[in-house]
Amino acid sequence: MENEEKNRFQIEKRMNRDFTLNKYRELCIALCSHGYTVCTVADYLENHHSEEKIVILRHDVDRKLQHAVRMAEIEHEFGIKSSYYFRYNKSVFNPASIQRIADKGHEVGYHYETLDKAKGDYKIAIRIFEDELVKFREIAEVKTICMHGNPLTRWLNRDLWKEYDFRDFGITGEAFLSFNDIPYFSDTGRTWTNKHKVKDYLPSAEPDCGGYEAGNVLKCTDDLIILLASGRIRSAYILTHPERWSNGSVEWVISHSMDMAVNLIKTVFGLGERAQRC
Ligand SMILES: [Zn+2]
């Protein structure tokens, strides 16, 4: 670490700031030092991993693409390959930056939101899906896809696959629908608990709350690191949103304030109360 970065690291430690890139580095160290094999979504679905301890690492890039680039570089330092799902919008769809991430060996996936874009019209939604998928495939091979979940829209984008089959588009898996029976941890709502998660849950966890037990007690990234270090879980599926993880003080304060504002809106509208119901 450079001196400047070391100083920042010390300051953060004193302030105990969470969701910084240095904290993310600590998470990477924990994964590597406690014997977890880290893999991408596509790798997990395609290969029947027999490792004793495995973590699927996924990132949903909703905005601030440069944060994803920095996160991908940190992972590369540790030899970690993960999955990055990009939205098709002006601030995220930048072929050069996406290529930079792909060049580090990470998986490039498509973070689709076409039912939202089509305002619930399935026929329009599948056409948008097909067009946008082509754009991503001009940059990198795309094997898997992942729904974007906007808490303020009435559509669940993954419902598209109630009418259509993603395999018809050469897609091998969907980041929510293709998984079950694996502990799922997400930073949505700036917490690893299930609070403030409106659409961000594995469908398999819905009928009962078995898969949520661990996710209701992890308030900060240190808690997740302690859980991984304890060996109490042999496998995990971890999601981050790179825009949430920043080192600069101003960026961090803005990101923190935005998350708090969104959480307040969710609370006012009674959204994201799944955890409490469980
Ligand atoms: Zn998203």
Q: Where are the domains of the chain?
A: 3-277
112 C-alpha vs ligand 1 centroid, how far in Å? 8
For the domain spanning 3-277, the CATH number is 3.20.20.370
240 C-alpha vs ligand 1 centroid, how far in Å? 10
10 C-alpha vs ligand 1 centroid, how far in Å? 32
DSSP string of the chain? --HHHHHHHHHHHHHT--SSHHHHHHHHHHHHHTTPEEE-HHHHHHS----SSEEEEEEEE-S-HHHHHHHHHHHHHTT---EEEE-SSTTT--HHHHHHHHHTTPEEEEEE-HHHHTTT-HHHHHHHHHHHHHHHHTTS---EEEE---TTSS--GGGHHHHS-GGGGT--EETTTT--SS-EEE-GGGSSSSTT-SS-S-GGGSSSSGGGTGGGT--SHHHHHHHHHHT--SEEEEEE-GGG---SHHHHHHHHHHHHHHHHHHHHTT-S-HHHH-
262 C-alpha vs ligand 1 centroid, how far in Å? 14
pLDDT of 206: 53
pLDDT of 49: 77
Binned average pLDDT, 10 residues per bin, the chain of 278 residues: 60 73 96 95 89 93 96 97 97 97 98 98 98 98 97 94 98 95 90 82 61 65 94 92 88 80 74 47
69 C-alpha vs ligand 1 centroid, how far in Å? 16
238 C-alpha vs ligand 1 centroid, how far in Å? 14
132 C-alpha vs ligand 1 centroid, how far in Å? 15
231 C-alpha vs ligand 1 centroid, how far in Å? 30
85 C-alpha vs ligand 1 centroid, how far in Å? 8
User: Is the whole-model pTM more than 0.85?
Assistant: yes
pLDDT of 207: 40
6 C-alpha vs ligand 1 centroid, how far in Å? 32
50 C-alpha vs ligand 1 centroid, how far in Å? 30
